[in-house]
């Protein structure tokens, strides 16, 4: 959600167990039917911090944890897009799709580290 703070516009970000990404809630006056009652929205993390956090989550990226990892990777892809890192965003989106489809059946953790290193290298080159 974008909020006007003085003359600048601030985007808020949600980081919890079930969702990682932009705050999608409506304006405060329109929240009668929202499922999420607690306000978890904060300023978005730096892209490098989000990539480090994603790297820590590789450990749990097997079976059902692969879906959570894919969701988190998709959120980091959106963050990269917002930070004007289109190459890293595209790589993260492909990684999220790959893990979401194949990670439930196979253990992809070893290859995930390599992919995350490549993505981090793409940020350093930019």
Beta strands in the chain (DSSP E): 2-5, 8-11, 13-15, 20-22, 41-42
Question: What pLDDT sits at residue 107?
Answer: 86
Provide the CA 78 distance to its chain's centre, in angstroms: 6
Tell me the mean pLDDT in the region 46-65.
Answer: 88
Question: What pLDDT sits at residue 39?
Answer: 64
Say which residue, 4 or 20, is predicted with more confidence: 20
What percentage of the chain exceeds 70 in pLDDT?
A: 74
Instruction: Give the pLDDT confidence of 7-41 residue by residue, as tens digits.
Output: 445 677 777 777 777 776 655 555 555 555 666 66
User: What is the number of other CB atoms lying within 10 angstroms of the CB of residue 3?
Assistant: 13
Question: What pLDDT sits at residue 126?
Answer: 59
CA atoms within 13 A on the CB side of 92: 27
Question: What pLDDT sits at residue 57?
Answer: 87
DSSP symbol at 87: H
Query: To which residue do tokens 């959570």 refer?
Result: 68
User: Of 8-12, 68-72, 77-81, where does mean pLDDT reach its minimum?
Assistant: 8-12
**What are the residue ranges spanned by the domains of the chain?**
1-44, 46-126
pLDDT at 55 over 80: yes
Classified as helix, coil or strand, 63 is coil
Question: What pLDDT sits at residue 77?
Answer: 94
pTM for the whole thing?
0.71
């Amino acid at each position: 959600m974008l909020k006007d703070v003085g003359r600048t516009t601030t985007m808020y970000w949600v980081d919890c167990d079930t969702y990682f990404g932009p705050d999608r809630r409506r304006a405060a006056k329109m929240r009668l039917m929202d499922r999420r009652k607690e306000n978890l929205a904060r300023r978005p993390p730096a892209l490098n911090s989000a990539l480090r956090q994603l790297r820590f989550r590789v450990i749990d990226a097997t079976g059902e944890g692969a879906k959570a990892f894919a969701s988190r990777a998709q959120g980091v892809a959106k963050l990269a897009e917002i930070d004007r890192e289109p190459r890293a965003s595209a790589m993260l989106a492909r990684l999220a799709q790959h893990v979401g489809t194949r990670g439930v059946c196979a253990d992809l953790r070893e290859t995930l580290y390599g992919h995350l290193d490549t993505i981090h290298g793409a940020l350093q080159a930019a």
